[in-house]
Amino acid sequence: MGFVAPAGDSEHNNIDFPFGLNEFADHEQVCLGRDPESGFTGFVAIHSTALGPALGGCRMVPYASGADAYRDALRLSQAMSYKNALAGLPHGGGKAVIWADPATQKTPALLTAMGRFIATLQGRYITAGDVGISVADLDVIGAVNPWTTGRSPQRGGAGDSGILTAFGVWQGMRAAATYRWGSDDLSGRLIGIEGVGKVGRRLSVHLVSEAGARVVVTDPSAEAIAQLQDQVDVSVVSSRDELLAMPLDVYSPNALGRVLTADVVATMSATIVCGGANNQVAGHDVPTMLAAREVLYAPDFLVNCGGVVQVADEVIGFDFHRARARVAQVYDTALAVFARADRDGISPLAAATQEAQDRIAAGSQPRFASSTQSAVPRE
């Protein structure tokens, strides 16, 4: 297991992060795990424990290099700190990544190795699901690592977290509509949804059946499209380019990240961007471009917190209605972030980041909390 010293330690103030990633030097801890027998290689990154034990998902991706895997763990764990803080959770941010192809390399032995690796942190990091990791996989990880959430109901978990994630994105979209148009009424609005997996599909259902919106979707999976069309009436286009060429009121990315490129922002018609995909902004100049075009961006780590709220609630004994009530607060938090952005003359992304950083800075727990302050293991 490898270790990177915490930023702020005077002995290490000038330390250079590997691969030139000094923008992430505020991380508390980064660990490398390997198990040659199972083929496991992975990282756990803990960004902050100021608000409590770090919580964030585990993803399995066939990264092009170890540097890419490492960078993803750092980037995502930082985002989890901000997401958890904005959601009002008693948790810092962490992330685990497995450098492997889930289609060809996922085995019980590899997942078990990951679980044992996470367990060495003794509750400083609590894991959950993410890309490439299913509820069934978390059951395997949880068999050797009590600091596991997102497991099946049969194993004491809450199961699929997409329900509350979609609900939270909907609340963020309502807030954006209120701030931009003076009303949260989305009826008749044309909303383009990219990606109709477990989040995008449920979001589409909310928007059509409850909000009365007109929804057009795109997804490479014909099966996912068919499953959605069995539930509600939506229009379908064949690509992102075709979706963005439409006269959208709202663009909702719910699949891949880094979709908000300079070219996309320069040409799209939508006046609100609000979706569940992580890390949507591709480029430091994009928030400024969005503002210049009067496009209101609801930061992803603000609105897509429903899943982490759900798994955080598992730690204390899952109650769906309690978790849903917390996710409903996305509406008010988003309005406050938009107001802060206008007041301070900054982008909503910067405002959300500053609000999260303020909440983390106000945290009372010390960095590198003792084992008695770690999360209680789940039985």
Using a 10 angstrom Cβ sphere, with 0-12 exposed, 13-18 middle and 19 or more buried, the burial of residue 130 is buried
Q: Which CATH number, 3.40.50.300, 3.40.50.20, 3.40.630.30, 3.40.50.720, labels domain 162-349?
A: 3.40.50.720
Residue 188 has pLDDT above 70, yes or no: yes
At 83, list the tokens. 């997401």
Residue 11 has pLDDT above 70, yes or no: no
Asked if residues 145 and 127 have their Cβ atoms less than 8 Å apart, the reply is yes
Asked if residues 287 and 281 have their Cβ atoms less than 8 Å apart, the reply is yes
CATH superfamily for domain 2-152: Leucine Dehydrogenase, chain A, domain 1 (3.40.50.10860)
Name the catalytic one among 83, 95, 106, 198. Answer: 95
Q: Which is more confident, 74 or 378?
A: 74
Residues in Cβ contact with 270 at an 8 Å cutoff, skipping those fewer than 6 apart: 192, 244, 248, 249, 250, 251, 295
Residue 106 a catalytic site member: no
Residue 25 has pLDDT above 90, yes or no: no
Domain ranges of the chain: 2-152, 162-349
Domains 2-152 and 162-349 share a fold: yes
pLDDT band at 20 (very low <50, low <70, confident <90, very high): low
pLDDT band at 372 (very low <50, low <70, confident <90, very high): very low
What pLDDT score does 2 carry? 38
Give me the percent of the chain exceeding a pLDDT of 70. Answer: 89
What pLDDT score does 139 carry? 97
Please write the tens of the pLDDT for every residue from 49-65. 999 999 999 999 999 99
pLDDT band at 22 (very low <50, low <70, confident <90, very high): low
Residue 12 has pLDDT above 70, yes or no: no
Please write the tens of the pLDDT for every residue from 266-316. 999 999 999 999 889 998 999 999 999 999 999 999 999 999 999 999 999
CA distance 293 to 267: 10
Asked if residues 24 and 17 have their Cβ atoms less than 8 Å apart, the reply is yes
At 154, list the tokens. 């049969």
What pLDDT score does 3 carry? 35
Please write the tens of the pLDDT for every residue from 117-175. 999 999 999 999 988 999 999 999 999 999 999 999 998 888 778 899 999 999 999 99
Secondary structure (DSSP) of 211-228 = S--EEEEE-S-HHHHHHH
What is the residue-averaged pLDDT of the chain? 90
CA distance 309 to 300: 14
* Whether the model pTM is above 0.85: yes
